[in-house]
Chain A
Amino acid sequence: MKDLQKINKEYNCFNTICNIQEKKTGKLKDLKISVKDCICIKDIESRAGSKILEGYKPVFDATVIEKVKKEGAIIIGKTSQDEFGFGSFSTNTYNIPKNPYDKTRVCGGSSGGAASATALLDNHVAIAESTGGSIACPAAFCGVYGYTPTYGLISRYGLIDYGNSLDKIGLMAKNIKDIKRVLETIKGYDEKDSTSIKDNLKKDTKVKKIAVIKESLNVNPEIRDIVLKYVKEKYGEYDEISLPITNKYGLACYYIIAMAESSTNLAKFCGMRYGASLELKGNFDEYFSKVRTKYFEKESKRRIMLGTFARMAGYRDAYYLKAAKVRTLIINEYKKAFKKYDLLISPSMPVIAPKFSEIDKLNPLDVYMFDNLTIGPNLAGLPHLSVPIGKIKNMPIGLMIIGDHLNDYKVIENGM
């Protein structure tokens, strides 16, 4: 624990450090597990990187926590993240994690603390969460494996929601073996989560044909070359496939849906039943507005505002419902591709981890663009894995393997 505090002082990967082991036996005996701050652990402050949840100690465990506790895992703390998952660099919060490869660079987001901790610790798996790329992005920037499951495979019960139709709890580790171990423990139907699925994962992991997503190659040329070299060496033959709707409209579709859903989810934070509060003054509206105005960070306010707008009478059809229809076309585009190919491949991120000084100059839309490669599989709820495959100027880069729904084993096995 002392070592962890020392590491944390240098890299800010944890919001809270703890040491919980409920059993000394089980399949995960003595495996260290860190948990993204947005996933509830009983009696441990869980605030999703937000000031509005300051002091909130859940009175229950998330289903994933209950499961790993039963298997003897040691829970070591809550990892830092963008407030409620709103960000690609883990800078929209009060505790900003630093990249283990270069402290002047970001970890990626929103599960930045999880990725930083994974790179720094041994015998450790991070339980993280992705809405639009919050696992693949930081995993790529910090040089670790980042696995996001088929939507619904892992229970979301006890997750502080961002966007319910997009959120997925997933894993990060230094190796695939540990990801598989923890996945076997935490997956499966949960009656407490209304979007939990009962289907079993497909066992077949054989790969006959793969394709690289053509539009994803329009990235930093050094990243493109390393990705293509890796694919050629590993798979020999590959095709290129175009996903025009996903590439052109995915970003807008994703952000409209994500903001609309998050603005409804964040309506519950009002300073009454839990979290930060103020002196009870004024009527309901005045009090709630005061609390929310004081404790939400800027990016959260932006997303609440845009999401509220996208759902307002008069604009709902043109934005929210239109985006939900475009989402259908994006899902269909992937489904068609998986009729021909077992896996789709792209770089995880278009660049290496930027410096803090570089992102200060970006406007919100510039920042959203960083998610362009990860939002497709997240919108379609497809399993994907970011694999660390090389470095540029000592900074890691990731390759993303995407599979069809329920083909999580195929995705994971092929990341080895």
Chain B
Amino acid sequence: MKINKELILQVAKNARLELTEPEIKEFEKDFKDILDAFSKISEVDTKNIKESFHPIEIKNHLRKDEIKESLSQEDALKNSKHRTDIYFKGPKAI
């Protein structure tokens, strides 16, 4: 796999981060060093082994479809600096 500026910029774009030129260089080095060390998991034989997405078996606990008390509109908006009286205000969508 080739770690280069193009890949770093693509990842940063997906992650919604802006990088300066020195940061791009630094990430190129970090990616090379860290992924090189992490790539050793490829040598493990995992044929017929299922993934563990949790350390223990997690059962689905489905709740009844009933209306319950939830956050009030005022509470939901309380921590936002960008709001009207009943809505969040966001940046332009189009």
Contact = CB atoms under 8 A, between A and B. Distances in A.
A363 B30 CA distance: 9
B42 A318 contact: yes
A57 B19 CA distance: 30
Contacts of A274: 79-80
A129 to B, nearest CB: 16
Contacts of A194: 58, 61
B11 A309 contact: yes
Given A273-B80, A324-B51, A302 B42 contact: no
A263 B54 contact: no
A245 B92 contact: no
Nearest to B43: A249
Majority SS at the chain B contact face: loop
A379 B54 CA distance: 9
Given A252-B38, A363-B33, A364-B30, A59 B54 contact: no
Contact of A302 (B27, B44, B63, B78): B27
A272 B81 CA distance: 8
B67 interface: no
Q: Which of B50, B51, B56 has the most CB of A within 10 A?
A: B56
Nearest to A276: B81
Given A59-B71, A289-B18, A282 B81 contact: no
Nearest to A281: B91
Contact of B90 (A152, A272, A312): A272
A166 B19 CA distance: 29
B75 to A, nearest CB: 4
A28 B28 CA distance: 51
B41 A306 contact: no
Contacts of A166: 55
A165 B57 CA distance: 11
Contacts, number: 173
Given A57-B79, A165-B53, A273-B88, A191 B63 contact: yes
Interface string B3-30: 0000110011011111100010001001
Interface in A273-318: 273-275, 277, 280-290, 292-293, 296, 301-302, 304-306, 308-309, 312, 315, 318
Q: Which of A253, A282, A325, A380 has the most CB of B within 10 A?
A: A325
B93 interface: yes
Interface in B35-92: 35, 37-42, 44, 46, 49-56, 58, 61, 63, 71, 75-76, 78-82, 88-92
B20 to A, nearest CB: 9
Given A308-B11, A329-B49, A282 B40 contact: no
A55 B79 CA distance: 8
B55 A380 contact: yes
Q: Which of B8, B16, B35, B40 has the most CB of A within 10 A?
A: B16
A256 B12 contact: no
A59 B17 CA distance: 29
A197 interface: yes
Contacts of B23: 301
B38 A379 contact: no
A180 B77 CA distance: 39
Q: Which of B33, B40, B44 has the most CB of A within 10 A?
A: B44
A329 to B, nearest CB: 6
A216 B7 CA distance: 37
21 contacts: A56-B79, A150-B56, A165-B53, A252-B38, A280-B89, A285-B16, A287-B90, A289-B16, A289-B18, A293-B17, A293-B19, A296-B17, A301-B23, A306-B34, A309-B7, A312-B11, A322-B41, A328-B46, A328-B50, A364-B33, A381-B56
Given A301-B23, A365-B37, 13 more contacts: A152-B56, A166-B55, A249-B41, A272-B91, A274-B79, A283-B92, A286-B91, A293-B19, A308-B15, A309-B11, A309-B31, A326-B44, A381-B54
Interface of A: 55-57, 59-60, 150-152, 165-166, 191, 194-198, 245, 248-249, 252-253, 255-256, 263, 267, 270, 272-275, 277, 280-290, 292-293, 296, 301-302, 304-306, 308-309, 312, 315, 318-319, 321-329, 331, 363-365, 368, 379-382, 405
Interface of B: 1, 7-8, 11-12, 14-19, 23, 27, 30-31, 33-35, 37-42, 44, 46, 49-56, 58, 61, 63, 71, 75-76, 78-82, 88-94
